[in-house]
Amino acid sequence: MKCTVCRGPALIDLRRHNANFCAEHLAKFCRDQVERAIHDFDMLEQGARILIAVSGGKDSLALWDILNHLGYDTAGLYVGLGIGEYSDVSGRFVQKFASERGLELLEVDLRSEHGYDIPTAAELTRRSPCSSCGLSKRHLFDRAAIDGGYDALVTGHNLDDEAAVLFGNVMRWQMDYLARQRPVLPERDGLPRKVKPLVRLTERETAAYCVVTGIDYQVDECPMAAGNKHIAYKELLNEMEVASPGTKADFYLSFQRRAVHQLDGTLAEGRESLGTCDSCGAPSPSDICAFCRLKSTTARENR
């Protein structure tokens, strides 16, 4: 197998692009795909100051590395979720990545700063761990991006993630979720601009990027992910991709090109009702935001 660009030995084949790449050209391919997503979806101004939500996994660390290469002014934000050994190891990968490259890393620890961790929150609220976790991360990422005056909050959602979520939303025709499923959401009412520059790369590609550029990352999956329905959607989409390479990208990117703008009205309707939380001042559709409610539930039950 030869590299499509230099004809040297290739180490990965990308069937949907009908191409094989060596280490150097795979890294270039990944950076080019991110640059293209940023350009096509008008995500970021050149040299923008951005905050990257980093988990210690392959996607967020690959993205941080790529955005740095592309000349953005980057800082990372890691939220310690308190999911035992998994969180401890993830945090160490992030710290190592940042310190080796001299990059700025902000850290928030749920337990010491907000009095709870994700396993406790899941148990006390009787909600799925991912729902407490998702709302906690969203709140803390949004807040840090606004307080720090960053031009955008960037997350490492890749093509597999986005296609799986889109599949789930289509299966239930959740029009409000579909309307919001965009790679760029503009800043509004105290919420930062949010962008997803990895939407043109799959998780196999970001993992390969980490391997060829020497990025060490947390390879274990979160132990609380079991039962997450998106895992089944990813498997289904992967089966379709094997039968017909390019299906996944076509599904997601064609939705962005042809369909999502039909839902601009639905998006605007959903945005009218945001006020502010009486307790923390964050944008919220109710008097007390979901994060403050979660905090007070866990504080009450922890007593």
- By CB under 5 A, name the binding residues for Zn ion: 3, 5-6, 22, 25, 277, 279-280, 282, 289, 292
Number of residues in the chain: 303
Closest to Zn ion by CB, 15 vs 39, is: 15
**Taking CB within 5 to 8 Å according to partner kind, which of Zn ion, ligand Q46, none is near residue 118?**
ligand Q46
Out of 63, 75, 133, 178, point to the residue binding ligand Q46 (CB under 6 A): 133
Piece in contact with ligand Q46 (CB under 6 A), picked from 34-42, 142-150, 219-227, 239-247: 219-227
Near ligand Q46 by CB under 6 A: residue from 225, 240, 260, 288: 225
Token pair listed for 33: 């795909």
C-beta of 9: minimal distance to Zn ion in Å? 9
Tokens describing residue 150: 């960053």
d(CA 163, CA 31): 20
Q: Which helix (H) or strand (E) holds 34?
A: helix 23-40
134 binds ligand Q46 (CB under 6 A): yes
- Residue closer to ligand Q46, measured from CB, 72 or 141: 141
Q: E strands of the chain, at which residues? A: 12-14, 19-21, 49-53, 73-80, 104-109, 152-154, 184-185, 194-195, 275-276, 283-284
Could you tell which of Zn ion, ligand Q46, none binds residue 5, using a CB distance below 5 to 8 A set by kind? Answer: Zn ion
* 130 interacts with ligand Q46 by CB under 6 A: yes
Question: Which residues contact residue 66 at a Cβ distance below 8 angstroms, ignoring those fewer than 6 apart?
Answer: 30, 31, 34, 197, 209
Nearer Cβ to ligand Q46 (118/152): 118
**What SS3 state is found at 272?**
coil
Distance of CA 229 to the CA centre of its chain: 17
Closest to Zn ion by CB, 74 or 136: 136
292 binds, among ligand Q46, Zn ion, none (CB under 5 to 8 A by kind): Zn ion
Facing residues of 204 across strands?
Answer: none
40 close to 196: Cβ distance less than 8 angstroms: no
User: Are 17 and 45 contacting, i.e. CB atoms less than 8 angstroms apart?
Assistant: no
Task: Please choose which of Zn ion, ligand Q46, none residue 134 contacts, taking the beta carbon within 5 to 8 angstroms, the exact cut-off set by kind.
Answer: ligand Q46
Q: Does 222 bind ligand Q46 (CB under 6 A)?
A: yes
Site string for ligand Q46, 89-128 (x = CB under 6 A): -----------------------------x----------
Sign of CA dihedral 94, 59, 132, 265: positive
User: Least distance from C-beta 88 to ligand Q46, angstroms?
Assistant: 14
Contact between 224 and ligand Q46 per CB under 6 A = yes
The CA distance from 185 to 283, in Å, is: 15
Among 76, 129, 183, 197, binds ligand Q46 (CB under 6 A): 129
Query: In sequence order, what are the residues at sequence separation of 6 or more whose Cβ sits closer than 8 angstroms to the Cβ of residue 46?
Result: 71
Q: 228, 168 in Cβ contact below 8 A? A: no
Tell me which residues touch ligand Q46 (CB under 6 A).
Answer: 118, 129-130, 133-134, 222, 224-225
